[in-house]
Amino acid sequence: DIVMTQSPDSLAVSLGERATINCKSSQSVLYSSNNKNYLTWYQQKPGQPPKLLIYWASTRESGVPDRFSGSGSGTDFTLTISSLQAEDVAVYYCQQYYSTTLSFGGGTKVEI
Partner 1 sequence: QVQLQESGPGLVKPSETLSLTCTVSGGSISRYYWSWIRRPPGKGLEWIGYIYYSGSTNYSPSLKSRVTISVDTSKNQFSLKLNSVTAADTAVYYCARGKGDNSGFYYGVFDSWGQGTLVTVSS
Which residues sit at the interface with partner 1, rule CB under 8 A? 1, 38, 40, 42, 44, 48-52, 55, 61, 93, 95-97, 100-107
Q: Shortest approach of partner 1 to residue 49 CB, angstroms? A: 4
Q: Which is nearer to partner 1, 16 or 49 (CB)?
A: 49
Q: Shortest approach of partner 1 to residue 72 CB, angstroms? A: 17
Q: Which is nearer to partner 1, 55 or 68 (CB)?
A: 55
Assign 88 to helix, strand or coil: helix
Q: Which is nearer to partner 1, 50 or 72 (CB)?
A: 50
**Distance of alpha carbon 104 from alpha carbon 96, whole angstroms:** 7
**Distance of alpha carbon 2 from alpha carbon 80, whole angstroms:** 23
**Distance of alpha carbon 47 from alpha carbon 66, whole angstroms:** 24
Q: Shortest approach of partner 1 to residue 92 CB, angstroms? A: 11
Q: Shortest approach of partner 1 to residue 16 CB, angstroms? A: 28
**Distance of alpha carbon 110 from alpha carbon 79, whole angstroms:** 12
**Distance of alpha carbon 75 from alpha carbon 81, whole angstroms:** 20
